[in-house]
Amino acid sequence: MAAPHPTKEGFTYTPGKGLKAGLDTEGAIRPLSSHAAKKDARPFDTIVVGAGYTGLVAARDLTLAGRSVLIVDARDRIGGRTWTSQVDGEKFEMGGTWIHWCMGYVWREIQRYGLDQRLHVTPNKSFPDYFFNKTNFNGNVYQEPFETNFQMCEDAFKRFCDVDGQGGATVVPIPTQVVKGVLVNEELVKKYDQYSIADRIAEVRAKNICSERELSFLIPWFVLSWGARPENASLLELIKWARHGENSFSFLAQILWCYRLLDGQSHLARNIFEEARRTERLCWSLETRVSSIIDRNGSVEVVTDKGSFKALKVVSTLPQNVAAKVRFDPPLSPLKQEAFSIKHVGQGHKIHSFFNKPELRSGVWNAWHENPEKTYELAAAFGDHTMRDGRVSVVAFGGGNSKKLLPSHDPSKIPTWLADIDPIFAETYSGSIWHEWINDEFAEGHWNMHPPNYYTRFHTELQKPHGNVEFASADWADAWKSFVDGAIEQGTRAAYRINQELQSRPGSARL
């Protein structure tokens, strides 16, 4: 395991020591660069813009195929929206976290590096009196034993997502094929792409499909999952999620927040990076901002603040919310430009907090108020793990949060935000750690969640190459879109397409 190094990203806060910026991570690569830009240098086979999972997998697969690759990334670490911080020997996932064997791409990767035997399980029954699901919904508080609550949510979730009398199966027959595929009904998909989750909530209430008690647990779950208010979140996206989980709330919950890597996501990312580096065909340049990508005369020039780099092909892994910051020459298609001008709605906090109360390890809490003037900053929290010193780490998520109210502006408010979920969180609070994704200039949001009327308009276009530039990102993956698995899917595909094309080009570069 590589030693951690400091990164400029992330925050820690304790009432005694105050706020501190910057955290250690195994994803911090040193030196930051292995290659100096030279305009007259022989071009690489491929330049990969972005060192998240998509870029890392693309780079590894291409170098293993004998291709020369340069990775450029604006951050001082690899991992993109998925990275693991280390504080006093404890690991905390700052972005993407949970994995499951139903996610075939990521499961293949952890087996490749022997990490499938090193998993941490989030649910815990060590404290039976606290093994419950509790919600504060519109000011009404409900609490139920975990098994009882999950059976209720299981039944309610099936009814909520059953928009067609067949559990959404006519809308999304195969969850990896939403807008294109042999079984896709384009008119039906387009119909449900117009709906928000709030539209479905209104319909469910009008038809008495779910009780208010059931909705009091489901709606906060939607908010934490999307990082958005229900009126801004796509119903089609929810139907796709439900179909991934066979319309089972408990199975989907297991997939989404049960199993995580004991050694951290940055350890997996580092394994991918090191395998590529060992080929001696990989170069990298971190803390390198890309300003433009110019595709002329059969090669591509990537212009950065560290100079220009040239390649036969480029993989752009820029997230949807920041892709418009880079100038493309020739210009992107009008449809792609429009797609990048529309921000996805994943705008939520993720905050790890520490408590001197071991019982908090077992609980799950939710909070949401449908009145926008009374909305809580955090929508859900659950015990994540017991730390070496006996304290418990609880991870909390927000939804529809604003840059105007960031944790770093006044971290002393974090215990108050947690107390809105349950007053118990104010009793033994001792500190927090987080990454402010909604204020991250290289992401401008966390995992990608579409607004209504986006999927059918842009998904296919976003996957199309632009000349010698491949666009690959978890933001438009076919399977687990916005997940680590989706990122690996996209990197795998991009590398395969590029290698196939370069095989027909004699004399491609070698290091």
All residues at 6 or more sequence positions from 319 whose CB lies less than 8 Å from its CB, including other chains:
80, 81, 442, 443, 444, 445, 448, 473, 475
**What does the alpha-carbon distance between residue 468 and residue 388 come to, in Å, rounded to a whole number?**
50
Q: Is the torsion defined by CA of 396, 402, 404, 408 positive or negative?
A: positive
Q: Are 101 and 107 in contact (CB under 8 A)?
A: yes
CA 471 to chain centre: 17
Question: Could you tell me the two tokens for 4?
Answer: 């951690």
Question: Could you tell me the two tokens for 502?
Answer: 């370069």
**What does the alpha-carbon distance between residue 275 and residue 279 come to, in Å, rounded to a whole number?**
7
Question: Could you tell me the two tokens for 61?
Answer: 């697969």
**What does the alpha-carbon distance between residue 336 and residue 341 come to, in Å, rounded to a whole number?**
9
- 87 annotated binding-site participant: no
62, HSE (Cβ side, Cα atoms, 13 Å)? 38
Residue type, 480: W
CA 158 to chain centre: 25
- 54 annotated binding-site participant: yes
Interhelix angle 334-341/455-463, rounded to 10 degrees, is: 120
**What does the alpha-carbon distance between residue 220 and residue 482 come to, in Å, rounded to a whole number?**
20
Interhelix angle 53-64/484-502, rounded to 10 degrees, is: 30
Question: Could you tell me the two tokens for 108?
Answer: 């293949």
b/e code 396-422 from CB counts within 10 Å (16+ = b): bbbbbbeeeebbeeebeebbebbbbbb
- 375 annotated binding-site participant: no
The annotated binding site for substrate is made up of 397
The annotated binding site for FAD is made up of 54, 290
The annotated binding site is made up of 54, 290, 397
